[in-house]
Amino acid sequence: MIDYSLGKLIFVEKNYNLNYKTFLKQNLVIIKKNFRTNMNNIEKLEKILKEELIPELDENLVELANITQSWKATTDDKEEFEDMKEMKKYFDDVLEDIQSNKLQDEDAIEILEVLDEMRLDK
């Protein structure tokens, strides 16, 4: 079971760069729309993770992997890649806990709230 304190997500909010801003802006607007459905919080979070965040993270990781393998890659590029991998692992772990019924509703609410707070279009 993972720690749902969202410590791993906070670094995104505090240290995001242009690519994080773009990623969050594209994806967290969708998250807000999903808050308005009648699903329970765990189902909402699972839907967001499966249909939006994780696929987008996968795409971004492929792009960043290509950049970091280039001779032009900067230290910032490499750090961003590592941060994105951490974020992906965190969401994969959350999804795994949802699927094995280990995630509590309170934890899902907290994660959804943090994701909503991270939206850049507020």
Contacts 24+ apart (CB under 8 A), 104-112: 105/40, 105/41, 105/42, 107/4, 108/41, 108/42, 108/44, 108/45, 109/41, 110/4, 110/6, 111/4, 111/6, 111/9, 111/45, 112/31, 112/35, 112/41, 112/44, 112/45, 112/48
pLDDT band of 18, cuts 50, 70, 90: very low
103 part of a folded domain: yes
Question: Is residue 2 one of the residues assigned to a domain?
Answer: no
pLDDT at 25: 56
Domain count, the chain: 1
Give the tens place of pLDDT for each residue, 37-66.
456 999 999 999 999 889 989 999 999 999
pTM score of the predicted model: 0.67
Mean confidence (pLDDT) of the chain: 77
Answer yes or no: is 122 within a domain.
Answer: no
Is 37 part of any domain?
yes
pLDDT tens digits, one per residue of 69-90: 988 889 999 999 999 999 999 9
102 in a structural domain: yes
In a domain, 1, yes or no: no
**Structural domain of 62:** 7-117
Q: Is the pLDDT of residue 120 over 80?
A: no
